[in-house]
């Protein structure tokens, strides 16, 4: 399964390791993803999502229903 947030669409970024002597080698920056189950009270069902830590904060602030609705409108969701 891809390392992509189901809500925000965050994914792996590529950059460089820079040593003390300023040599550069490629590396990857991984998003902080967590697999969580969310209960949707309108439909009465549980949904499992792979979300980033920032998406969890957004869900805590706005609620799972509005976040899922907005993600579906923006075509970010990968269900």
State how far the Cα of 51 lies from the Cα of 73, in Å rounded to an integer. Answer: 17
pLDDT of residue 77: 63
Q: What is the pLDDT of residue 79?
A: 57
- In the chain, the domains with their CATH numbers are 13-73 (2.30.170.40)
Q: pLDDT digit of tens for each residue in the chain (79 aa)?
A: 689 999 999 999 999 999 999 999 999 999 999 999 999 999 999 999 999 999 999 999 999 999 999 988 887 665 5
Confirm if 27 and 47 have CB atoms less than 8 A apart: no
Residue 71 is predicted with a pLDDT of 87
Q: Which residues contact 25 (CB under 8 A, 6 or more apart)?
A: 16, 17, 19
């Amino acid at each position: 399964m891809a390392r992509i947030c189901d809500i925000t669409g965050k994914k792996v970024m590529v950059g460089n390791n820079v040593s003390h002597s300023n040599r550069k080698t490629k590396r990857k920056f991984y998003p902080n993803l967590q697999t969580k189950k969310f209960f949707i009270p309108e439909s009465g069902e549980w949904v499992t999502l792979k979300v980033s830590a920032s998406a969890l904060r957004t869900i805590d602030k706005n609620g799972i229903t509005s976040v899922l609705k907005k993600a579906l409108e923006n075509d970010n969701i990968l269900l």
